[in-house]
Structure 1
Amino acid sequence: MRAAVYHGSRKLSIEDVPEPSPDAGQVKVRVSRNGICGTDLHEYYDGPIFVPEDPHPLTGRSMPVVLGHEFSGVVTETGKGVTDVREGDHVVIEPIYRCGTCRACKAGHYNVCAVIGFHGLMADGGMAEYTVVPENQVHRLPDRIPLELGALVEPLAVAHHAAVMGEVNGDSTALVYGAGPIGIGLWFALRGMGLTEIDVIEPSETRRASIEALGARTLDPTAQDVPALIAERMNGVGVDAAFDAAGVAPAVESALQCLGERRPLVSVAIYDKPIPTPLIQLVLRERRIQGTICYTHEDYQAVIRLMAEGHYDTTGWVDTVPLTAVLDEGFEALRQGRRMKVLVDPTR
């Protein structure tokens, strides 16, 4: 079968590799779509970062690996002992490997497992015609959710988990910094929680136009003094939560200035370089910066439920390319800003 195999920085090739078979407790999936995310870009251009050069303690795998951790597909075979999944099921994968024995896992927070691993980074992933996953990574999709939409559950679950960490409700006000895929996912997640007062802060005219077309309200930080505008609008009270999906210092500084007392800035970005933190903004108003990583089973189920209700709209920000074009029309197009979100179709 064909697969996108990662051999290190700027070394990704389409190769013929053996088709996998499921062992006990595993499920074989024919991949429908696999998304390219920021982590994949960092691995390709700057890595290896997360892809291990020595065997991972949970998977036993090391580089080279087949990339891809955001994917949906159809179950074609199950291994011995699999009971909750059957051949023909449409599924989406929650790609976390967890030990089950560390303090975080025992508390139910396996997304911060001490030795966490990811399918598509620490094991052969979904940028291939077939892949094999543990049964506990599989979520069934309702019939009314198309497989191409299901491939977005993983990044949308990242956004949903971050929204939950913001401790908001339908009466809350929020700011989202960055209108890339995670920023868009945050806007949808917050709307799904009942929020109506959300501003998306984005300097790119193209990205502002994309999220505005979905119904969002935006602010241009290059043309407006966002903290001053929020202070005037909120009578100096500040917003209930801010979310950084931009990953740049000006966004962090602006967000902290806009927060109300004892409110969180939820960081859901990948930071390429150290971000200076104005601690005085935290101390004087007891604001806090809240980290967030990945998702939980509950986030996946929440996103799938919202999808089934027709909550998400991919118009204008999601493109699909064949596996053979993954470098030029996938990685390079995303890096150059020619596309916002790319799904890879390994069947084309």
Structure 2
Amino acid sequence: MRAAVYYGPNKVEIADVPEPSPGPGTVKVKVGYNGICGTDLHEYYAGPIFFPTEPHPLTHAQVPLVMGHEFSGVITDIGSRVTGWSEGDRVAIEPIYKCGHCPACKAGNYNICAQIGFHGLMSDGGMAEYTVVPADMLHKLPDNVSMQLGALVEPMSVAYHAATLGETKPGDTAMVFGAGPIGIGLWFALRGKGIDDAFVVEPSATRRASIEALGARTLDPAALDVPAFIADHTEGRGADAVFDAAGVTPAVETALACVGARRPMVSVAIYEKPLTTPLLNLVMNESRIQGSLCYTSADFQAVIALMAQDAYDTTGWVESIAIDDVIDEGFEALHAGAKMKVLVDPTI
């Protein structure tokens, strides 16, 4: 079968590899679509970061490995000791490997497991025609949720988890910094939670146009004093929650200047450079920075339910490519900012 195999920085090969077979507790999935994630870009250009160069403690795998942790598919074969699933079931995959016994896992917060692993980073993943996954990673897709949307459940769950940590309620004012895929997902999640008064702050005219076409209200930080606007808009109260999906110092500084007293800035970005942001406003307002990592099963179920209600729209920001085009039309186009979100179709 065809697969995108990661060897190291700037070395991913589209190769023929053996087709896997399910073992006990696992199922074989014919992949529908696999999304290229920002993490995949980091690994391609600067890795290995998360790809293990020694056997991972949970998966026992190491590079070279098949990439891909954002994917949907159809079950084609079922291993022993698997119940509740049938061949032909359409599924999205929650790709977390967890130890089950660390303090975080025992508390139910397995998304911050001390030994966390990901299918497609610490094991062979979904950027292939087939992959084998543990049955506890499966989430059934309703008939009216497409395979393309199914491949977006994982990144949209990252955003939904962050939106939940913001503790917003209908009538609140929320702000999203960054209109990349996670920023778009945050806007969808906030809308799904009944937050109508939300603004997306984005300096790129192209990205602003993409999310405006979906119905979002945007602010251009190069043309507007964003904190002054929000202060006026909220009659001095400030935003009830701000979300950083940009990961750069100017966005964080502006976000902290906008957040209301005793309200959170939820950080769901990866910071490639150290932040040197003054925290005086944070102290004076008793506001806080809240980290957000991954998702849990509840986030997956919430996103799938919203998708079944047509709450997500891929128009203008998602496109599909063939697996042979992963480098040029995938990694390089995304890295150059020429595309927003790319789904790999391993069948073409």
Q: TM-score, normalised by structure 2?
A: 0.99
> How far apart, CA to CA, are the structure 1 residues paired with 2:107 and 2:23?
29
Q: Does 1:157 align with 2:157?
A: yes
**Residue 201 of structure 2 corresponds to which residue in structure 1?**
201
Q: CA deviation at 1:231?
A: 1.3
Paired residue type of 2:223: A
Corresponding residue number in structure 2 for 1:108: 108
Which residue is equivalent to 1:9? 9
1:76 aligns with 2:81: no
The 3-state SS of whatever aligns with 1:199 is strand
Which residue is equivalent to 1:97?
97
- Opposite residue 228 of structure 2, the aligned amino acid is A
Match of 2:278 in 1: 278
Tell me the amino acid that sits aligned with residue 42 of structure 2.
Answer: H
User: 1:337 deviation in Å?
Assistant: 1.0
Gaps of 5+ in 1: none
1:322 partnered with 2:319: no
Q: What is the identity, as a one-letter code, of the residue corresponding to 1:223?
A: A
CA distance in 1, matches of 2:278, 2:187: 26
- What amino acid is aligned across from residue 317 of structure 1 in structure 2? W
Amino acid at match of 1:61: A
In the alignment, residue 198 of structure 1 is paired with which amino acid?
Answer: A
1:228-249 Cα distance to aligned partner (Å, 9 max, x none) = 1111222221010000000100
Output one character per residue of 1:136-172: Cα deviation in whole Å (capped at 9) or x when no partner.
0000101111111111000000000000000111121
Q: Alignment partner of 2:133: what SS? A: strand
The amino acid that maps onto 1:133 is: V
The letter of the residue matching 1:242 is V
Following superposition, the deviation at residue 121 of structure 1 comes to 0.2
Residue 164 of structure 1 aligns with an amino acid whose one-letter code is T
Residues 1:254 and 2:254 aligned together = yes
Between the aligned partners of 1:197 and 1:278, the Cα distance in structure 2 is 27
How far is 1:93 from its partner?
0.2
Give the equivalent residue in structure 1 for 2:143: 143
User: What is the distance in 2 between the residues matched to 1:85 and 1:42?
Assistant: 35
Alpha-carbon shift at residue 280 of structure 1 (Å): 1.1
SS at 1:152 equivalent = helix
Q: Distance in 2 between matches of 1:90 and 1:235?
A: 48
2:289 & 2:243 partners in 1: Cα distance? 10
- In the TM superposition, residue 49 of structure 1 has moved relative to its aligned partner by 0.4
Whole-angstrom CA distance in 2 between matches of 1:172 and 1:292: 20
Gaps of 5+ in 2: none
1:279 positional shift: 1.8
Distance 2:292 2:84 in 1: 30
Q: How does 1:321-340 map to 2 (within 5 A)?
A: 321-340=321-340
Q: Distance in 2 between matches of 1:28 and 1:21?
A: 6
**Equivalent residue number for residue 222 of structure 1:** 222
Give the paired residue count. Answer: 348
- Separation in structure 1 between the aligned mates of residue 314 and residue 148 of structure 2, nearest angstrom: 10
Distance 1:216 1:207 in 2: 11
Deviation at 1:277, TM superposition (A): 2.8
Confirm or deny that 1:295 pairs with 2:301.
Answer: no
- Rounded Cα–Cα distance in structure 1 between residues aligned with 2:345 and 2:258: 41
Separation in structure 1 between the aligned mates of residue 233 and residue 174 of structure 2, nearest angstrom: 13
In the TM superposition, 1:169-208 aligns within 5 A as 169-208=169-208
Specify the SS of the correspondent of 1:316: coil
Partner of 1:310: 310
Q: Name the CA distance, whole Å, in 1 between partners of 2:45 and 2:131.
A: 24
Letter in 2 for 1:57: P
Shift of 1:203: 0.4
The alignment status of 1:122 with 2:113, answered yes or no, reads no
User: How much does 1:338 deviate?
Assistant: 1.0
After superposition, the C-alpha distances for 1:294-320 in whole angstroms (9 at most, x for unaligned) are: 000000000000000111000000000
> Equivalents in 1 of 2:43, 2:266: separation in Å?
24
Shift of 1:283: 1.0
**CA distance, structure 2, for counterparts of residue 51 and residue 307 of structure 1:** 31
Q: Structure 1: which amino acid aligns with 2:150?
A: G
Which runs of structure 1 show a deviation greater than 6 angstroms over 4 or more consecutive aligned residues? none
* Pairing 1:36–2:39 present: no
Task: Look up the equivalent residue of 1:234 and give its one-letter code.
Answer: T
Specify the code of the residue in structure 1 equivalent to 2:225. D
Using the TM superposition, give the Cα deviation of residue 85 of structure 1 relative to its aligned residue in structure 2, in angstroms: 1.4
